[in-house]
Chain A
């Protein structure tokens, strides 16, 4: 089955700096890669996703890159703000199978 590894497990940055979280996956059939932000006591919320036919996607301060050959994808947050502090999860999904496999999460702390 699919295996997703996420690094780092914790990340602390100064407000205004950039943050990068990386994930690798094992199943070459995976073709959909969402990123979720989870705040304390809440369910995960989708912040950005990328599909296998695209190498990069950007939405304001958030961007995701995908390298299918190397089987890794990354989340980039620029100009970080304290409200970006949360746990971020990556996931990999084979849309023909319907099942998502999640990384273990990264706790991001943005210091004011």
Chain B
């Protein structure tokens, strides 16, 4: 079946411009997660959604970052006034429900969007 998809796969933008990254989760998955992966680094948690609400936004690096999810499906991560340090791969993942201790709901990751800010 279809997995998590992200678009665009690559994005090159000039410093100061706004960018919008899109994530299409697996159909029926209520939980959606955004991560950032800098070169040679681990995954940095940004935000997660349960349905359309984001219980935890603590991982967003600055107020230039925002995310929304509508209809319990597609999510967009927006970065305003991009900076060079925003360059990274942005990964989206979804799970059937938010992971609970006794549930088997693993996260399925998309291929990521590689963002380069010049």
Cβ–Cβ < 8 Å partners of A53 in chain B: 101
Does A20 count as interface, using CB distance less than 8 angstroms?
A: no
Chain A 72-112 interface mask (CB, 8 Å, partner B; 1/0) = 00000000000000000101010101111111110000000
Distance to closest chain B CB from A112 (angstroms): 25
Cβ–Cβ < 8 Å partners of B91 in chain A: 43-44
Q: Number of A interface residues at 8 Å Cβ cutoff, please give it.
A: 29
Cβ–Cβ < 8 Å partners of B102 in chain A: 51
Chain B 97-112 interface mask (CB, 8 Å, partner A; 1/0) = 0111110001111111
Instruction: Across the interface, name the chain B residue whose C-beta is closest to A4.
Output: B42
Q: Contact residue range for chain B?
A: 20 to 34
Complex partner residue of A42 from B50, B100, B111, CB under 8 angstroms? B111
Q: List 16 A-B contacts (CB under 8 A).
A: A31-B101, A41-B111, A43-B109, A46-B106, A46-B107, A89-B43, A95-B98, A95-B100, A97-B56, A98-B56, A100-B33, A101-B45, A102-B35, A102-B44, A104-B42, A105-B42
**A interface, CB within 8 angstroms of B:** 4, 6, 31-32, 34, 36, 41-46, 49, 51-53, 89, 91, 93, 95, 97-105
Closest 6 CB pairs of A and B: A43-B109, A102-B42, A102-B43, A104-B42, A46-B106, A95-B101
**B interface, CB within 8 angstroms of A:** 4, 31, 33, 35, 40-45, 48, 50, 55-56, 58-59, 91, 93, 98-102, 106-112
